[in-house]
Amino acid sequence: MVKHRLEAFSDGVLAIIITIMVLELNVPHGSSLKDLAHLIPSFINYMLSFIYLAIYWNNHHHMFQIIKKIDGRVLLTNGLLLFWLSLVPFATAWSGETHFAKIPVMLYGIILLLAGFSYQLLTQSLIALCENEELSTAINKDAKGKISIVLYAVALPICYVNQHISLVIYLLVAIMWIIPDKRIEKIFSQTK
């Protein structure tokens, strides 16, 4: 199967997810800067979620630049990833509106964990199809992906003790992923 429809669909879904997220930021009723104060938690959470979605889109884009074909397993794992990412606006709004209460922050972490796990499944699906040995080797050595899942799993029980520590862990994972995957960029430049 060709990959272009999957890429277009994924791009569209991520664009809609981001749009839904920004619509959850309620306009204040007043006109002073003081009226924005109650939106600070929601805005902080929106920024973190936007960064996460941009990172997923960026890495998804990088991987699919190299891949030439897809199969049903890739379609399924990509759909699973998009499902978990589609829940990010709900968790973002809930944790922001509750000023980062424990259960909403925990739900946010569960969604991040399941999205990270789904991304790993997608990666493994692509490796199974991959005709480019270098890409297969590069993606298979994905330490950041494995570390991210471990950090999400560690952050969940920490939520019971202090949800702000969990938020810091989520932020650290995002910071770790902000720099694009140079392994794939290197391979892509060699295949041109």
The CA distance from 182 to 164, in Å, is 31
pTM for this entry: 0.90
Q: For 60-88, what is each residue's pLDDT tens digit?
A: 988 888 788 899 999 999 999 999 999 99
55, 174 contact by CB (below 8 A): yes
Domain that holds residue 133: 4-191
* Maximum distance among all Cα pairs of the chain, rounded to whole angstroms: 59
Q: For 160-188, what is each residue's pLDDT tens digit?
A: 999 999 999 999 999 999 876 666 666 66
Q: State the total domains in the chain.
A: 1
Q: Over the Cα atoms of the chain, what is R_g?
A: 18
Structure letter (DSSP) for residue 3: S
